[in-house]
A and B are shown apart, each in its own frame.
Chain A
Amino acid sequence: MAKPLIKVPPTAKKGEIIEIKTLIAHPMETGYRAGLNGATLPRDIIRRFVCSLDGEEIFSADFSPAIAANPFLSFFTRIEKSGSITFQWTGDNGFSVSETVEISVS
């Protein structure tokens, strides 16, 4: 599947509150649904999302089976310094996707 879509302003002023948006492709199979043959489909979800700036966590979320497929997240943070913003999604069946975006703060 496609790389996740990430929207971070490329530049910001020191102390500014910025909005970060992410969209990732994932089936988010709940583990409660029956498949075509009647057998329960095994759970396959993203379990955790972590966003950090130069290794320091700025936002994280635990996902549950009730979250829709292809989850979209939007959150705000006060940005104080330039650096690399890392996005990490981890989940069932060894799912792990990581992306990095640079932001320059003046």
Chain B
Amino acid sequence: MPMPRPSASTTYEKSRTSTRHPLALTIILSTALLALSPAQAANLTDNRRSGYAFMGPPLRAMQDDDMTNPASLWQRDGETLWAEPIGEAGRSCADCHGDAASSMRGVAARYPAFDRTMNRPIDLEQRINHCRTAYQKAGPLAFESHDLLALSTHVARQSRGLPIAIENSKALHPFLAMGRSLFHERQGQLNLSCAQCHDDNAGRSLGGATIPQAHPTGYPLYRLEWQGVGSLQRRLRNCMSGMRAAPYAFGAEAFVDLELYLMWRANGMPMESPAVRP
């Protein structure tokens, strides 16, 4: 467990405010409130924070500008792949879906979503592969392969800024419950659960890194540590090996349940895909 934070900052605040007139403080607070946008004001009652909020200004700037966000390179490849006819059907994504900018708007914000043919939720990568095998008659792409990441980055980019919107459907409830229990289940040699870090200790430090609240707002994302783009499942495997647990295989049902729970937990938060994270 991390050491409790020193209370230096709170005593500093106290000594600072006690020297001021109470009215002065009220004026400062109310002008601060007026300067907030409606979205920021709504956040005052919502304690959820994206990993973006824990990054410094240089990394935020890197994410915000497509020119400096290296995930743009993947997204551009995805744009090319989107229009390429493939498989026995000789069809491209665009032949059915048209321009991704309109047809894929908000789609990634709804995934994982329930799929009737599989009778369970599937994530965006699985949806892309399902399209490839069922409609394009091409083989599925390997998880974390460049082409699959390029396509999922291109699709997810079309949801940037839109709120995460996991459907509240009865069919999803058992899978959400499974995801929730996985999130709270202790595992690995360190006997830790996801919740112990990301709920109980978010904002504090683990080694040199700040523990975020585990809201998957920006996947697939460019991680500086990876020097490349990776999926949410890759990130979850990272955490699992960090807990010294055996990571599930890519595409495992448990992963999709966990992804579903995390996205549901972040419902309403704006999508940042493709994000940049340290």
Residues of A within 8 A of B (CB): 1-3, 5, 7, 21, 23-25, 27-28, 68-70, 72
A5 and B227 form a contact (CB under 8 A)? no
Contact B76 A23 (CB under 8 A): no
**Bound complex: CA of A105 vs CA of B146, how far in Å?**
40
A70 with B70: CB separation less than 8 A:
yes
In the assembled complex, how far is the CB of residue B100 from the closest CB belonging to chain A, in whole angstroms? 16
* A23 proximity list for chain B (CB < 8 A): 67-68, 70, 72-73
Q: Could you tell me if B70 and A2 are in contact, using CB atoms closer than 8 angstroms?
A: no
Report how far A3 CA is from B72 CA in the complex, Å: 10
Question: Please, which residues of chain B bring their CB within 8 A of the CB of A25?
Answer: 70, 73
Taking A1-B73, A21-B67 as given, write out 9 further A-B residue pairs in contact, using a Cβ cutoff of 8 Å, ordered by the A residue number.
A1-B146, A3-B76, A5-B73, A23-B73, A68-B227, A69-B70, A70-B70, A70-B228, A72-B70
A72 to B224, CA, bound (A): 13
CA gap between A21 and B62 in the complex, in Å: 13
Q: Does B77 count as interface, using CB distance less than 8 angstroms?
A: yes
What residue of chain B has the Cβ atom nearest to residue A24's Cβ?
Answer: B73
Main secondary structure of the interface of A (DSSP, over half): loop
Please determine whether A1 and B227 come into contact, CB atoms closer than 8 angstroms. no
A21 to B66, CA, bound (A): 12
Whether A21 contacts B68 in the complex (CB less than 8 A), given A69-B227, A70-B227, comes out as yes
* In the complex, B264 has a CB within 8 A of chain A: no
25 CB < 8 A contacts A-B:
A1-B73, A1-B77, A2-B74, A2-B76, A2-B77, A3-B76, A5-B66, A5-B73, A7-B67, A21-B68, A23-B68, A23-B73, A24-B73, A25-B70, A25-B73, A28-B227, A68-B224, A69-B70, A69-B227, A70-B70, A70-B73, A70-B227, A70-B228, A72-B68, A72-B70
The distance in angstroms between the C-alpha atoms of A25 and B228, with both chains bound, is 10
Q: Are B228 and A2 in contact (CB under 8 A)?
A: no
Q: How far is the CA of A2 from the CA of B78 in the complex (A)?
A: 9
Most buried by B among A5, A7, A27, A68: A5
In the complex, which residue of chain A has the Cβ closest to the Cβ of B229? A70
B43 shortest CB reach to chain A, Å: 31
Chain B contacts with A in 40-79, Cβ cutoff 8 A: 66-68, 70, 72-74, 76-77
A52 to chain B, nearest CB (A): 21
Bound together, the chains give a CA A1 to CA B77 distance in angstroms of 7
Q: Known A27-B227, A69-B227, A70-B227; judge A2-B73 contact (CB<8 A).
A: yes
Q: Which residues of B contact A28 (CB under 8 A)?
A: 227
In the A-B complex, the 3 residue pairs with the closest CB atoms: A69-B227, A2-B76, A70-B70
Within 8 A of A (CB), among B186-223: none
B82 CB, nearest partner CB in chain A, Å: 13
Write out the residue numbers on chain B whose beta carbons fall within 8 Å of the beta carbon of A69. Answer: 70, 227-228
A7 to B80, CA, bound (A): 20
Which residue of the partner chain B has the closest CB to A6?
Answer: B67
CA distance A72 to B77 in the complex (A): 18
Q: In angstroms, how far is the closest chain A Cβ from the Cβ of B153?
A: 11
User: For B72, what are the chain A residues with a Cβ–Cβ distance below 8 Å?
Assistant: 2, 5, 23
Q: In the complex, how many angstroms separate the beta carbon of A8 from the nearest chain B beta carbon?
A: 11
* Inter-chain contacts of A27 with B (CB < 8 A): 227
**Which has the most chain A C-beta neighbours within 10 Å: B66, B70, B146?**
B70
